[in-house]
Amino acid sequence: MSHNPTPKTDLEKMQAGEWYSCLDPEISALRHRALEACHEHSVLYPVDRGNIGPKLRALFAKCADDVRIEARFHCAYGINIHLAEDVFLNVGCVILDTAPVKIGRHSMLGPNVQIYCADHHRDPELRKQHLEIARPVTIGDNVWIGGGAIILPGITVGDEAIIGAGSVVTRDVAAGTTVVGNPAKPVAR
């Protein structure tokens, strides 16, 4: 008797780093839950919201007690976001967390920083099928990311690195390095 394993769901494929359809109903439901949490975070009066709206805090995989996220904030799912102690995200940050996004202790993200984990297919026929793949992003401890910077899928930023405002990070950033520009390149501190 042959054993036919149950095929993976698109969510399981996303979590495994395989190609999946981002329009899958199960994934769409998770995205809707994140939209509601982000909306609550953005519309609560600051005194009622505190550092993070309650639905948003409950959504995250990990969120230290002293994390602060300014409103407006957007995430794709929230369930893949890990925020260590004393992390600060300024107004307008976007995290498309189709894969784990880990932000280390004492790291600061300026206004409108964007972190992308979703990568779309290069073949236009497959891209029309809404296929994407999730690549994790890791940001070390005590990192400063200037306003408007974009971190592309699969990037690791080492401890104490600085990413200049408006930079597009297309390659890993070594610990203690400052990078600026598009694409971001190391400069002397």
What contacts 80, CB < 8 A, 6 or more positions away? 61, 97, 98, 99, 100, 101, 117
Domain assignment present for residue 4? The answer is no
Alpha carbons 9 and 108: distance in angstroms, whole number? 35
**Could you tell me the two tokens for 56?**
């948003």
Pick the catalytic residue: 39, 106, 120, 121? 120
Q: Which range of residues forms the domain containing residue 147? A: 11-187
Q: What is the 3-state secondary structure (H, E, C) of 14-74?
A: HHCCCCEECCCHHHHHHHHHHHHHHHHHHHCCHHHHCCCCHHHHHHCCEECCCCEECCCEE
Express each pLDDT in 80-135 by its tens digit.
999 999 999 999 999 999 999 999 999 999 999 999 999 998 999 988 999 999 99
At 151, the pLDDT band (50, 70, 90 cuts) reads very high
The predicted pLDDT at position 188 comes to: 85
Domain assignment present for residue 154? The answer is yes
Least confident stretch, 1-10, 81-90, 134-143: 1-10
Express each pLDDT in 163-189 by its tens digit.
999 999 999 999 999 999 999 999 987
Domain count, the chain: 1
Domain assignment present for residue 73? The answer is yes
The predicted pLDDT at position 189 comes to: 73
**Could you tell me the two tokens for 115?**
């972190």
Domain assignment present for residue 3? The answer is no
Kindly report whether the global pTM for this prediction surpasses the value 0.85.
Answer: yes
Rounded mean pLDDT of the chain?
95
User: Residue 11: which region, alpha, beta or left (left: phi > 0; alpha: psi -120 to 50)?
Assistant: alpha
pLDDT above 60 for 1: no
Domain assignment present for residue 2? The answer is no
Residue 184 in contact with residue 166, Cβ under 8 Å?
Answer: no
Alpha carbons 83 and 68: distance in angstroms, whole number? 10
CATH number at residue 45: 2.160.10.10
120 catalytic per annotation:
yes
